[in-house]
Structure 1
Amino acid sequence: MTNAALSTSYQEFTACLGLDLGPLLPTGIQREVGHFNAFDIAHLWESAPAQSAPPYACRSFYKISFLRSHSRAEYADQTIDIAPDALVFSTPKVPFQWLPTETQQGHFCFFTAEFLLPVLGGLTPDELPLFRAEGYPVFQLTPAEAAQVAALFARMHEELASDYAHKYDLLRAYVLELLHLGQKQQPSTRLHPAHSAAARLSSRFVELLERQFPLANPQQRVQLRTAKDFADHLAVHVNHLNKVLKDSTGRTTSDLIGGRLAQEAKVLLRDTDWTLWQIADCLGFVDVAHFSHFFRRYATVSPGAFRTLEAVPV
């Protein structure tokens, strides 16, 4: 992430909370590879004039949250209830909105993909099970685990405030410890996936599909929309790709693509003020009529009706 993009992301973040930008920027970020920062939620909760969840645009980082109070989260197109002492992993690739339901306590840290490059051995965060789109982002902690996580965040805050020359190396180590703690919560089948050719092809398909999202502005456009588009990009026959995905997921290639397009459409209808034409164009439809026909197959209502229903306060 460039310095200009980083500054823009912080401006969005602070605008959401009504806070001053200056004190939030850690020392040394201009010299650091990637970016990292950590916050005490209770402090932000007390400081923010409007205690509301950040809107759709305020997502530019990978984030690990330690939530010590009841809350809810909208993840992709589902709503998740979060009990106290939960560890939550979110990625900029999947729409995520935190919805506090009471006075909040806890901590969160966020970072760019570049920040972890020195310690992931060439991997990106998207290749970790915790940040994959098909994963579940919330993990409940035992009292002992919660104490361990609280201590890690305390050390993060201490290092961020220090003038130690290698503090970002320590911060990477703390983030890795949180990642390992989260991965321990994953089922063993998720930690040790099969490495067959079929499994690799399925994984590559999912990563290629997810790489197109989220759509951050009306000028973006989905490029791969059909089974043939993906098969050509993956250098396999479309029938072979369809068989592999059908065997591994129970769904056809077209159904998986359509479901992901519909999921993104719901998020854009709910969380942005884009016109139906803009959303249809971003998702690759020639006009609103074709988009509406497609959307009804997955949501049973028209895009306009869905937006109206989602806007009604609960």
Structure 2
Amino acid sequence: MANSNINVRTLRKLYQQLGLSIDYLEEESGFTIHYLEQTFKDLPFRSEPFRPNYFSFLFIKSALGYYTIDDQRFEVTSDTVYFTNPGNYRIFEWEKLEHTCLITFGEGFLKEYVHDDVYRDFSFLLSETIAPRVLTKDQFAQIEELYTLINREYKGHSLYKNKIIGALVIALLLKIKEYFFQDYNPIYEGNRSSQIVKNFKLNIEQHFRDLMSGKTNTQLRVQDYADLQSLHVNYLSSVISSKTGKTISSWIADKTATEAKVLLQDNGLSIKEIAARLGFLETPHFSNYFKKYTSISPVEYRKQYFGKLP
């Protein structure tokens, strides 16, 4: 087993650190789907504490176990859906697994294949802690049809695989919203520190929407995000780091890299224009920044992206 409080960017890396099989998990697209009974053969199983950097949906048709997120421990039973977003400390425990499907995806996948303003229609993705939601048999059957289709595409070799999966994920998110989250607003859920985290996530999302739409061409600093909530910068930094496992600077860097990738997929935009859109005064600064956080230059990323298209 790995040491406690593992920080992981993908499910594949988590399973590697826990000594579990990763043969059926892709890494490149930022999306995975698999059935847990294929992985957890020796039960009961209890994971080490970890902080993921991905969203996850757990569709539990027949299983028993527990899920800990921060200081809350939830019992997981059959016919439930469990959702978590990036950053929180968590542990999972399995006592019985007969039919349980796990889907994970990063923000980059959402932006590229689902919708570039996904949080507008699916605000529950910003939620920090959500208890498992119980479905009726009919509701679960409809959800099962969707994740079965997603799994089939994931295992296939279509030229448009990720786009098809993205479309099916939209249908899945709409069904989940219909069943549980029609009037849900994550801002009003949780304690004070939870609200600070949610407000920060909304503020960073709104700022990058303004950058993308041309409403502003100025990057926000850590101090600016503190000012938006009338908080001391050290307090905001402490809350974000302790609750999400990431610094504010890391949130900004990850968001900038994600949005840059989306813009680089538009061949009609020059790298100079993209740099300006993201608030960089000089193109070389943007190129260096992008390479620092992605290990590849904007030019190389663009070549790779367009080289993969059919």
TM-score range, shorter chain: 0.5 to 0.7
Question: Is residue 156 from structure 1 mapped to residue 150 from structure 2 by the alignment?
Answer: yes
In 1, Cα distance between equivalents of 2:150 and 2:59: 13
Runs of 4+ in 1 over 4 A off after TM superposition: 5-9, 124-127, 191-194, 202-205, 209-212, 229-232, 234-237, 256-264
Does the CA-based 8 Å contact 1:231-1:237 persist in structure 2?
Answer: no
RMSD between aligned alpha carbons? Answer: 4.3
C-alpha spacing 1:166/1:78, structure 2 compared with 1 (3 Å): same
Instruction: After superposition, give the CA deviation of every residue in 1:125-178 in whole Å (9 maximum; x if it has no partner).
Output: 699432324452421111111112222222222212222111111111222222
C-alpha spacing 1:262/1:37, structure 2 compared with 1 (3 Å): closer
C-alpha spacing 1:53/1:192, structure 2 compared with 1 (3 Å): closer
C-alpha spacing 1:233/1:40, structure 2 compared with 1 (3 Å): closer
C-alpha spacing 1:101/1:192, structure 2 compared with 1 (3 Å): closer
In 1, Cα distance between equivalents of 2:242 and 2:71: 6
Does the CA-based 8 Å contact 1:38-1:107 persist in structure 2?
Answer: yes
SS at match of 1:93: coil
Q: How does 1:1-314 map to 2 (within 5 A)?
A: 10-19=12-21, 21=22, 23-26=23-26, 30=28, 34-46=29-41, 52-57=45-50, 59-68=52-61, 69-123=63-117, 128-186=122-180, 188-190=182-184, 206-208=198-200, 233=225, 235=227, 238=230, 264=243
In 1, Cα distance between equivalents of 2:30 and 2:176: 21
Instruction: After superposition, give the CA deviation of every residue in 1:72-94 in whole Å (9 maximum; x if it has no partner).
Output: 21122111122211111111222
Q: Aligned residue for 1:297?
A: none
Post-superposition offset of 1:113: 0.9
Number of aligned positions between the proteins: 216
Unaligned runs of 5+ in 1: 195-201, 213-228, 242-252, 269-314
Post-superposition offset of 1:100: 1.8
Post-superposition offset of 1:117: 0.8
Instruction: After superposition, give the CA deviation of every residue in 1:172-227 in whole Å (9 maximum; x if it has no partner).
Output: 12222221122123354326999xxxxxxx97873327999xxxxxxxxxxxxxxx
C-alpha spacing 1:126/1:11, structure 2 compared with 1 (3 Å): farther
Post-superposition offset of 1:257: 6.4
C-alpha spacing 1:102/1:168, structure 2 compared with 1 (3 Å): same
Instruction: After superposition, give the CA deviation of every residue in 1:86-129 in whole Å (9 maximum; x if it has no partner).
Output: 11111122223222232442111111111111355423569943
In 1, Cα distance between equivalents of 2:203 and 2:103: 23
C-alpha spacing 1:70/1:124, structure 2 compared with 1 (3 Å): same
Q: Percent identity?
A: 12
In 1, Cα distance between equivalents of 2:116 and 2:175: 21
TM-score normalised to structure 2 length: 0.55
Greater strand content: 2
Does the CA-based 8 Å contact 1:86-1:139 persist in structure 2?
Answer: yes
C-alpha spacing 1:74/1:233, structure 2 compared with 1 (3 Å): same
Does the CA-based 8 Å contact 1:73-1:96 persist in structure 2?
Answer: yes
In 2, Cα distance between equivalents of 1:152 and 1:104: 19
In 1, Cα distance between equivalents of 2:88 and 2:120: 11
SS at match of 2:75: strand
C-alpha spacing 1:143/1:17, structure 2 compared with 1 (3 Å): farther
